[in-house]
Structure 1
């Protein structure tokens, strides 16, 4: 119910949209709370928490979509979203939400790999393609592996941009629902006076 929203906010729930109006006069709001805590990540959980915080500050839609890191082992990265927060009128995930989840999965893996290598840079998506295989009507999870890294990041050590492509798969439950190929550029940090 609308009057209980503040209570649920204090309990860690995020408001993600409107809800039904019961009996024609009692408004409701849709709220979510992730039940997959980052504490389940065994490898670099503090980095995963830093990444989540960075997204919540710089990419606020990530919270609205219920994005949460479900796996990172130094080689692969998995990012889940809350299906209920991303439904279209057909009861499946918005195509734009599928795309956004894939973009953030690639960006997240790059950010973590930069930390693994002790490098600093700003990942940017330069170009992409996506192929949709079917509707996403179960929990969506984007999966990406670090193919070619860390070698492709080495130009950053010379102050040059690193450019490369990542393939990201998005699953609806256990079914492959979309394949995304993103061409990313990692710009080296600007030097003072540039």
Structure 2
């Protein structure tokens, strides 16, 4: 799915993403970047609202898992199971979340999902503004294989 199509899907299915004016910037199979403007996500101090930063961290991890599974033809329902965000300094500009697949864990996650029809994976996300890491997010996501999904025969699927 293209970044534009994923952005449209997020806005259609998760109304908060439209209110936050989020935009999926890129997905290369292993790394996903999603952004949000300060104008739609500021607090009374004129800096980014912590809830918006945390939400973008969740969205980055969720979108990465969904896109990576879609890229290998696996249809699954994905939910956030655990979320924690560490804020390092105030964000006073537009910001983005950069999420990367954990290469060592991904094949095991996919194999477990195919074998047991459910699996969990932790995704680390860096929240960036002005070319600096301003916050970090760690989310654990649970995936449940769709009933009509036919997993590919090789449970050791490489990274897309």
SS of 2:2's equivalent in the other structure is: helix
Specify which of 87, 103, 122 is matched with residue 58 of structure 2. Answer: 103
Specify which of 146, 152, 155 is matched with residue 112 of structure 2. Answer: 155
* 1:71 and 2:19 matched: no
Q: Tell me the equivalent position of 2:157.
A: none
**Alpha-carbon distance between aligned partners in 2 of 1:114 and 1:75, rounded to the nearest angstrom:** 11
User: Do the aligned partners of 1:117 and 1:150 also contact (CA within 8 Å) in 2?
Assistant: no
- 1:3-152 to structure 2, matched below 5 A, reads 46-147=1-102, 148-152=105-109
**Alpha-carbon distance between aligned partners in 2 of 1:68 and 1:92, rounded to the nearest angstrom:** 19
User: Do the aligned partners of 1:79 and 1:142 also contact (CA within 8 Å) in 2?
Assistant: yes
**Alpha-carbon distance between aligned partners in 2 of 1:154 and 1:123, rounded to the nearest angstrom:** 16
User: Do the aligned partners of 2:6 and 2:24 also contact (CA within 8 Å) in 1?
Assistant: no
User: Do the aligned partners of 2:37 and 2:93 also contact (CA within 8 Å) in 1?
Assistant: no
Q: TM-score, normalised by structure 1?
A: 0.71
Q: Tell me the equivalent position of 1:13.
A: none
For these two proteins, the number of residue pairs brought into alignment is: 146
Q: TM-score, normalised by structure 2?
A: 0.85
After superposition, the C-alpha distances for 1:32-89 in whole angstroms (9 at most, x for unaligned) are xxxxxxxxxxxxxx43233222211210111111101112211211111011111111
Let me know the Cα RMSD of the aligned residues: 1.5
Query: Computing the radius of gyration over CA atoms, which structure comes out larger, 1 or 2?
Result: 1
User: Do the aligned partners of 1:113 and 1:150 also contact (CA within 8 Å) in 2?
Assistant: no
User: Do the aligned partners of 1:119 and 1:156 also contact (CA within 8 Å) in 2?
Assistant: no
> In the TM superposition, what is the alpha-carbon distance from 1:149 to its structure 2 partner?
2.2
> In the TM superposition, what is the alpha-carbon distance from 1:154 to its structure 2 partner?
2.1
Moved over 3 A (4+): none
Unaligned runs of 5+ in 2: 149-160
After superposition, the C-alpha distances for 1:124-155 in whole angstroms (9 at most, x for unaligned) are 10012111001111220100111132441222
SS of 1:66's equivalent in the other structure is: coil
Q: Tell me the equivalent position of 1:166.
A: 123
